[in-house]
Amino acid sequence: MADFVKPPDLAKNLTNCGPEYHRQRLIHILQMAYSGELAAALAYAGHWRAAWKQTERQDIHRIEMDEWHHRAGLLKMLHDLGAKPVLWRDLMMRSLGSVIFLACFVSGWYMPMYFAGRLEQANIQEYEDAAYHASNLGLEQYAAIFKVYAQKEVEHEQYFFNLIAKHWLTPIMKSIFHYGPNRP
Ligand SMILES: [Fe+2]
Ligand SMILES: [Fe+2]
């Protein structure tokens, strides 16, 4: 069970890019990602249970386990940095994940697949940013882990995009949200 802290004071007053700036940015990203992984894991827990195909159930369940694994790793890093998760953020993401969990059972096949891919893209950027700040702090072992996490999120995104690439709704969704698989 994680301890929690109040929302962090962001590094907005730190005008330079020294170690304290990178440390604050890294902790902030870890706190956001820690709770984001909770929402993702809960969403996927509903997603695979709502899927009909056995292969999709197994694949999405595996993705859910990846997100729990990421969350556990982030918590350990926060502790190592002398920081804690943010309670309000975790509660908000738990609520969001629970809503998506339930929505997966009524929203049909396509929408969870499309928005899962979109969610993954945000996670990729988050871990690339974390790797950048960790490198600037000389925390190369963290940077390496973030790159592994980012690569895993790329694989997740690709998985969902492969499923929807040829669906008739995809061109429409891409025209609305300007996001989707890069296929004709
Ligand atoms: Fe993840
Ligand atoms: Fe993911």
Beta carbons within 10 angstroms of residue 90's beta carbon: 18
Measure the CA–CA gap between 105 and 137, rounded to whole angstroms: 44
Separation in Å, CA 36 to CA 58, 149, 176: 22, 13, 24
44 alpha carbon, closest ligand = 2
Say what the pLDDT of residue 126 is. 93
- Indicate the domain borders of the chain: 17-177
33 alpha carbon, closest ligand = 1
Give the distance (Å) from ligand 1 centre to CA of residue 34: 9
Give the distance (Å) from ligand 2 centre to CA of residue 49: 17
Domain covering 17-177 in this structure, CATH number:
1.20.1260.10
The predicted model scores a pTM of 0.85
- How far out from the chain centre does Cα 168 lie? 27
Give the distance (Å) from ligand 2 centre to CA of residue 77: 18
Give the distance (Å) from ligand 1 centre to CA of residue 159: 14
Give the distance (Å) from ligand 1 centre to CA of residue 38: 9
Per-residue pLDDT of the chain (184 residues; tens, 9 = 90+): 567 665 445 544 555 578 899 999 999 999 999 999 999 999 999 999 999 999 999 999 999 999 999 999 999 999 999 999 999 999 999 999 999 999 989 988 888 888 888 888 888 999 999 999 999 999 999 999 999 999 999 999 999 999 988 899 998 998 998 888 874 4
Q: Could you tell me if 124 and 154 are in contact, meaning their C-beta atoms sit under 8 angstroms apart?
A: yes
